[in-house]
Amino acid sequence: MDDLLEQFLIEGRDLVAQAQADLATLARDPADARAIDSAFRAVHTLKGSVGLFDMAPAETLLHAAEDVLERARKGTAPLDAGAVATLVATLDQTDRWIDALERGDAIVAEATAAAVLAETAPEADWAEALYTAARLGDGAVPQTAFRYTPDADCFFRGDDPLAIVGAVPDLLALTAQPAAGAWPALDALEPFQCATRLEGLSGAPVAAVRAAFRMVSDQVEIAAIAQRAAPVAAAESTSAATAVLRVDAARIDALGDDLGELVVAANTLAPIAARLDRIDAAAALEVRAAQAQIGRSVAALLRTVSAVRMVSLEPTLRRLPRLVREIAEQLGKAVRFDMRGHTTEVDRQIAEGLFEPLLHLVRNAIDHGIEDSAIRAAAGKPAEGALSLQIAREGGQIVVTLGDDGAGIDPARIRTTAIARGLIDGAAAEALSDAQAIRLIFRAGFSTAAAVTGVSGRGVGMDAALAAIERLRGSIEIDSTPGAGTLFRLRLPVHAITTQILVVEVGGDRYGVSLDQIVETVKVGADALRPLGTGTAVVLRDRTVPVLDLATLLGGAGPAGGGARLLVTQADGALVALRVDGFGERIDTLVRPPSGVLAAVPGVTGTALTGSGDVLLVLDLPELVA
């Protein structure tokens, strides 16, 4: 099959689905500006795409649908239930035509679908010329052009062409031309004969302009104006689209993997140079220079490939507003959802992996966070709960903040529930700080809902959401104020191909630790380590941090005495220091997911190759500590 067609069959159906989803929203709330915008974009893009194929009836129909949505966007003709139903029928028809195109059938115009939509008119050269010459005010977007040539005797019949033109809605421009091509000399001008042709532009749709001229329809030509500047960013022109190369995501992944190998290969030069130093210092210098140059090129290449893998979060998150409405409706809650920064670009892997856990947090916020209207009213809050999602980039991370103005999380209730569920005993629960207690919601088997609802209780808990985010090397922070609401803050890396690894030495072995998981590395004297209960602790910046021994965690022997090197990480929202024997180099490398036997070993994220070709186990510190 032709590549272009194959692409269109995928994209076209996506766009139909997108528009249908928006229309489903509009069926509930025909004034939903976001849905109108989104449906408009989808229909606009779809119209552009069908133009590439032999689908003229679809193009005409979608053009009409676009007009209807455009008027709704500008508020000149709000949608009603009937219009939405018609638009749904239009897209169904388009979908059938796409099926027909795939089968190789002819695209036959369906009069029924076309007739119900507003009239359209062909575009015309004179109308384009008029548009080009017109001095339009800011924000004036003509949709329709008219060329009215009143018949010469119209004055005798009592017609005033200007009065008729005065009835054209949203008149944006008007010119008077001599109907005969040039104005007659004054002596030859016949004052009771109309010798003028009026041409003008209107911001109203074709049908409305045609209605204004209905008494003189035989003297008027009406043309649709093609939209010049793309009214929305997503509505790219077809010529721009051809400049975009669509590549199978798997190939980009393969490119990323190969590049990861190249990074590793380039890292091998450093130890060679170090060995060569002892034999031939000058040659070692040359190798170092070559290494530096290769390093720079590889880094540049890495940036380029990373950029190629970057995608906007928008396609992933565009379902979210509708899902929020659906979930809220299902739970009988009134929720206003606000989403910002959803066009932020992230690595494809992150974009794909973010949706499920985020949706779970959203469900959780609507189900457990936002209270019923009656409770909200009693608390003096607006009846409608507010849920906001904000996505922002901070350096190499994206920060996804989901906030609600609901009841907040009550640490006491969480403790009680966790004890009741047998997740923790009473003493341990009391020992937890409020912040730590709140994090108990991430424990497997935790659910505060007295009744398992159809929405939140699907067998996937908050623990699954956290695990999914951690698989993306992200973290979740919770900030909750009882009575005022809860804020979930997700931090995720923007790029995902290579990971910066710190090599640590433990019990004679070398392991890798992702830099993302390291809060800091510190060297302390033996006297800084103090016994705390059965364990050891260290005071870092006035905070007491428990110290665990990494060798012991990995099943080896305990440490020797003396000073300690500590790797400080964050687990379950609290700082934990891990004692290691030494810190090695930092490398930028590809971490391969564990396979085979390794996959079953807890606390291992994967394996990485070092510059010298050794295989490092990359540790997952939070999991080891937990």
Which residue lies nearer to another protein by CB, 30 or 150? 150
Which residue lies nearer to another protein by CB, 152 or 494? 152
Q: Which stretch binds another protein (CB under 8 A): 179-187, 218-226, 367-375, 524-532?
A: 179-187
Max CA separation in the chain (angstroms): 117
Number of residues that bind another protein (CB under 8 A): 26
Q: Tell me if 140 contacts another protein by CB under 8 A.
A: no
Which residue lies nearer to another protein by CB, 169 or 482? 169
Which string of DSSP letters, residue by residue, matches 14-72?
HHHHHHHHHHHHHHH-TT-HHHHHHHHHHHHHHHHHHTTTT-HHHHHHHHHHHHHHHHH
Q: Position 592: which residue type?
A: R
Q: Tell me if 33 contacts another protein by CB under 8 A.
A: no
Q: Tell me if 575 contacts another protein by CB under 8 A.
A: no
SS3 state at 10: helix
Residues 594-613 that bind another protein (CB under 8 A): none
Please give the structure tokens belonging to residue 224. Answer: 């649709």
Q: Which of 20, 95, 124, 183 binds another protein (CB under 8 A)?
A: 183
Which residue lies nearer to another protein by CB, 186 or 600? 186
Locus of tokens 């659906």: 326
Cβ–Cβ < 8 Å for 19, 37: no
d(CA 316, CA 356): 10
d(CA 622, CA 572): 7
d(CA 218, CA 574): 80
Q: Tell me if 153 contacts another protein by CB under 8 A.
A: no
Q: Tell me if 195 contacts another protein by CB under 8 A.
A: yes
Please, what is the minimum distance in Å from the beta carbon of residue 166 to another protein?
4
Which residue lies nearer to another protein by CB, 174 or 587? 174
Q: Which of 2, 125, 138, 187 binds another protein (CB under 8 A)?
A: 187
Please, what is the minimum distance in Å from the beta carbon of residue 155 to another protein?
5
The dihedral sign for the CA sequence 92, 94, 99, 103:
positive
Residues 244-303 that bind another protein (CB under 8 A): none
Which residue lies nearer to another protein by CB, 32 or 199? 199
From residue 163, how far is each of 151, 183, 198, 219, 324 by CA, in Å?
15, 22, 12, 15, 51
Q: Tell me if 186 contacts another protein by CB under 8 A.
A: yes
Q: Tell me if 475 contacts another protein by CB under 8 A.
A: no
Which residue lies nearer to another protein by CB, 189 or 299? 189
Please, what is the minimum distance in Å from the beta carbon of residue 182 to another protein?
10
Residues 518-547 that bind another protein (CB under 8 A): none
Interface map 155-174 toward another protein (x if CB under 8 A) = x----xxxx-xx-x--x-xx
Which residue lies nearer to another protein by CB, 58 or 164? 164
From residue 572, how far is each of 17, 173, 353, 569 by CA, in Å?
40, 66, 21, 10
| Residue burial 422-455, b: 16+ Cβ < 10 Å; e: rest | eebeeeebeebeeeebbbbbbbeebbbeeeeeeb
Q: Which of 57, 150, 357, 406 binds another protein (CB under 8 A)?
A: 150
Which residue lies nearer to another protein by CB, 146 or 442? 146
Q: Tell me if 196 contacts another protein by CB under 8 A.
A: yes
Q: Position 264: which residue type?
A: V
Instruction: Tell me the sheet residues that pair with 310.
Output: 347
Q: Tell me if 129 contacts another protein by CB under 8 A.
A: no
Please, what is the minimum distance in Å from the beta carbon of residue 223 to another protein?
18
Other C-beta atoms within 10 Å of 493: how many? Answer: 19
Q: What is the 3-state secondary structure (H, E, C) of 121-142?
A: CCECHHHHHHHHHCCCCCCCCC
422: left (phi over 0), alpha (psi -120 to 50) or beta: left
Q: Tell me if 181 contacts another protein by CB under 8 A.
A: no
H helices of 455-501, where?
462-471
Please, what is the minimum distance in Å from the beta carbon of residue 222 to another protein?
16
Q: Which of 30, 48, 200, 353 binds another protein (CB under 8 A)?
A: 200
Instruction: Tell me the sheet residues that pair with 404.
Output: 387, 486
Q: Tell me if 106 contacts another protein by CB under 8 A.
A: no
Rounded-to-10 torsion of CA 459, 489, 573, 491: 100
Which residue lies nearer to another protein by CB, 184 or 396? 184
From residue 526, how far is each of 425, 523, 540, 564 by CA, in Å?
34, 10, 14, 6
Which residue lies nearer to another protein by CB, 87 or 171? 171
Please, what is the minimum distance in Å from the beta carbon of residue 173 to another protein?
6
Q: Which residues bind another protein (CB under 8 A)?
A: 150, 155, 160-163, 165-166, 168, 171, 173-176, 178, 183-184, 186-187, 189, 191-192, 194-196, 200
